[in-house]
Amino acid sequence: MCGIIARVGNGDSVDTLLTGLENLEYRGYDSAGVAVQNGHGIKIHKQSGRVEDLATDLRERQPKGNVGIGHTRWSTHGPPTDENAHPHSTSTTNVAVVHNGVIENYDTLREELQAKGREFTSDTDTEVIPHLMEEYLEETGDSETAFRKAVEELEGSYAVAALVDDEDVVYAARQGSPLVLGQDEEAGEYFLASDVPAFLEYTDEVAFLEDGDVVIARPDDLTVTDLEGNVVEREIERVDWDPEETGKGRYDHFMLKEIDTQPTALSNTIDGRIDPVEGTVDLEDFPDGIFEDVREVQLVACGTSYHAALYGAQSLKQAGVRAEVHRANEYELSSGPIDEQTLVIAVTQSGETADTLGALRRAQDKGASTVTVTNVVGSTAAREADEALFIRAGPEIGVAATKTFSSQAVALSLLAHRLTEDVPDADTRDDVTEYLSALHELPDGISEILDRHKAEELSRKYRDSDAYFFIGRGMANSVAKEGALKFKEITYEHAEGFASGELKHGPLALVTQDTPVFAIFTGDEEQDKKTRKNAEEAQARGAPLVAVAPEGHEAASIADEHLVVPDTHPVWAGLLANVQLQLVSYYAADQLSRPIDKPRNLAKSVTVE
């Protein structure tokens, strides 16, 4: 967790660091800090609270420095206090360090350093790094060597950047946590950050660093080496993300912007991959026959990505392919036998979720073939899986995943389609033309909802409820779960998602006239009949019923409210229903004045297990 940034160049770094931290705040937002080097020692400013508080403070003090590092924190070791905020240093302020990751052997290192008389002022694992560096600096007199030696002592995961007093240099290294390099060679400016949006306003030339890489960046000069000091080449790529995508634009919140840009995101997901007229799906990197040895598919994911995996797995199950969806953090216990005929699909927006990477690595150790479905090119999952299918949704900054759920569910459904073409005895769809045509029109269906929804009014009506329940069957069950996750995550209200038929096995005890039930109908007559019965059972106990259903659906006639799902194939109806639910969550949270883009205690990219 946490976001780090470093910048070296000719000219002041402070504004660049602050912009970078604002763009990285989705990774953690309980404290923030920067350190700059300006020829008169290292100046550190850090405090608990948001980046904007730090920015206000810095505007008054106006520190300057052409070389700097910055950090925005999501606490793992110690509460969000000024002392625990990064950058960390020593009593001499000879070095300053920012770090994302977890140093697993920090207890031992700390004890050893304390035995040498070193004093610690924070609860963090990170603080061992500046002390180690200073020890080695005193021993060797050479800061690059000191940095390498310090890093060699660390066990666990880290993306780390360091300044040394009186040197126009940033030292950085990565092991198990993301670190991206940005360069504007003409300006002699280099950036290191946890993610590309941190510096996208300044350059689109990036290199995704690898584990074991050490970077020595000076204005006009950059070297990347391995831990031993051998120079390594890292390919510079141009990212095609628009810097505007990393700003809020005319929106109050990234979440609403990201809900609103779903038609474009989804069009990008399917662009060039489907031909509704021919009835074909063409996924680059997945040629005919690639899955012919697969006998079982296991999908691993967390949170919203888990719900997208549940959605995608339905297509496989319906086609008779053995498919199981596992919470990545339980995979070690739940996976059952894995062998070379198992295909493991790691679904992860960020490509950096520690639980999901753990499951992916476990699958690889057991000999499974692996694919990741991810949004982030160059992410750890994209590099470690055998193959990657990119969802192409563009950067998602709001902590609550919205557009990426839709794009993941669609990308997974397309991957499922490709699998059924290869896996022996799988049934391929006999309605493929209708299925792909409806997918082709899905972005328009979302636009229709965005143009004429009544989410604001509806969330006001149910604003004082005790709890909110979401029910659905099959694909609509995964949408019910996702609807509830989104609702609780950003409103802090109690919300639960269930399979429709499960309500009567316990949760019904919670149902009262103050617990609206959102029932999701897809237009699949047989399934909808059952959901309607379960919805009526809740209604009979006084619950207000909100039908999220196609226009003219019979459920609308019994419901207190109807959120309309535009006409589509039943396979895609759940994704349209989900957009309605995203909007309800958003407006409910807005009316409660919640910090929608940065819900308490959460962060977008969870890089700890």
Binding mask 285-304 for ligand F6R (x = CB under 6 A): -----------------xxx
Residue 203 or 582 having the CB closest to ligand F6R: 582
Going by the DSSP 8-state scheme, the letter that residue 603 receives in this structure is -
Q: Using DSSP bridges, classify how beta strands 237-238 and 274-275 pair: parallel, antiparallel or unpaired.
A: unpaired
User: Bridge partners of 369?
Assistant: 343
Among 348, 372, 500, 585, binds ligand F6R (CB under 6 A): 348
Q: Is there binding between residue 350 and ligand F6R (CB under 6 A)?
A: yes
Residue 213 or 396 having the CB closest to ligand F6R: 396
What letter represents residue 500's amino acid?
Answer: S
Question: How far apart are the C-alpha atoms of 522 and 473, rounded to whole Å?
Answer: 9
From residue 95, alpha-carbon distances to 169, 480, 564 in Å are: 11, 50, 59
Q: Is there binding between residue 489 and ligand F6R (CB under 6 A)?
A: yes
The closest of 371, 376, 317, 380 to 350, measured between CA atoms, is 376
What letter represents residue 301's amino acid?
Answer: A
Q: Is there binding between residue 305 and ligand F6R (CB under 6 A)?
A: yes
Question: How far apart are the C-alpha atoms of 419 and 425, rounded to whole Å?
Answer: 11
Among 356, 407, 539, 568, binds ligand F6R (CB under 6 A): 356
Q: Is there binding between residue 195 and ligand F6R (CB under 6 A)?
A: no
* Active-site residue, selected from the candidate residues 2, 43, 302, 403: 2
* Residue 2 bears catalytic tag: yes
The closest of 254, 305, 248, 256 to 583, measured between CA atoms, is 256
Strands, E assignment, 165-271: 170-175, 180-184, 189-193, 205-208, 214-218, 221-225, 237-238
* In the complex, minimum distance from the CB of residue 373 to ligand F6R, in angstroms, rounded to a whole number: 10
Residue 303 or 445 having the CB closest to ligand F6R: 303
Return the residues of window 419-458 that contact ligand F6R according to CB under 6 A. none
* In the complex, minimum distance from the CB of residue 502 to ligand F6R, in angstroms, rounded to a whole number: 21
- Of the candidate spans 135-143, 214-222, 310-318, 347-355, the one that interacts with ligand F6R by CB under 6 A turns out to be 347-355
Residue 538 or 606 having the CB closest to ligand F6R: 606
* Residue 530 bears catalytic tag: no
Among 400, 438, 442, 446, binds ligand F6R (CB under 6 A): 400
Question: How far apart are the C-alpha atoms of 526 and 529, rounded to whole Å?
Answer: 5
Q: Is there binding between residue 407 and ligand F6R (CB under 6 A)?
A: no
With contacts defined by CB under 6 A, how many residues of the chain interact with ligand F6R?
Answer: 15
Question: How far apart are the C-alpha atoms of 229 and 213, rounded to whole Å?
Answer: 9
The closest of 396, 373, 406, 295 to 605, measured between CA atoms, is 396
Residue number of the CB atom closest to ligand F6R: 303
Q: Are 130 and 90 in contact (CB under 8 A)?
A: yes
* In the complex, minimum distance from the CB of residue 497 to ligand F6R, in angstroms, rounded to a whole number: 13
3-state SS, residue 394:
coil
Q: Is 180 left (phi over 0), alpha (psi -120 to 50) or beta?
A: beta
In this structure, how many other beta carbons lie within 10 angstroms of the beta carbon of residue 284? Answer: 9
Residue 569 or 594 having the CB closest to ligand F6R: 594
* In the complex, minimum distance from the CB of residue 360 to ligand F6R, in angstroms, rounded to a whole number: 11
Residue 72 or 349 having the CB closest to ligand F6R: 349
Q: Is there binding between residue 315 and ligand F6R (CB under 6 A)?
A: no
- Of the candidate spans 182-190, 199-207, 342-350, 364-372, the one that interacts with ligand F6R by CB under 6 A turns out to be 342-350
Q: Is there binding between residue 197 and ligand F6R (CB under 6 A)?
A: no
Among 349, 407, 539, 582, binds ligand F6R (CB under 6 A): 349
Residue 13: phi and psi, rounded to 5, are -100, -15
| Buried b / exposed e along 324-335 (16+ C-beta atoms within 10 A) | bbbbbbebeeeb
Helix, strand, coil percent content, the chain, rounded in steps of 5: 40, 25, 40
* Active-site residue, selected from the candidate residues 46, 257, 488, 604: 604
- Of the candidate spans 61-69, 275-283, 348-356, 418-426, the one that interacts with ligand F6R by CB under 6 A turns out to be 348-356
Q: Is there binding between residue 379 and ligand F6R (CB under 6 A)?
A: no
Q: Is there binding between residue 606 and ligand F6R (CB under 6 A)?
A: yes
Question: How far apart are the C-alpha atoms of 294 and 322, rounded to whole Å?
Answer: 10
Binding site for ligand F6R (CB under 6 A): 302-305, 348-350, 353, 356, 400-401, 485, 489, 605-606
The residues carrying an active-site annotation are 2, 604
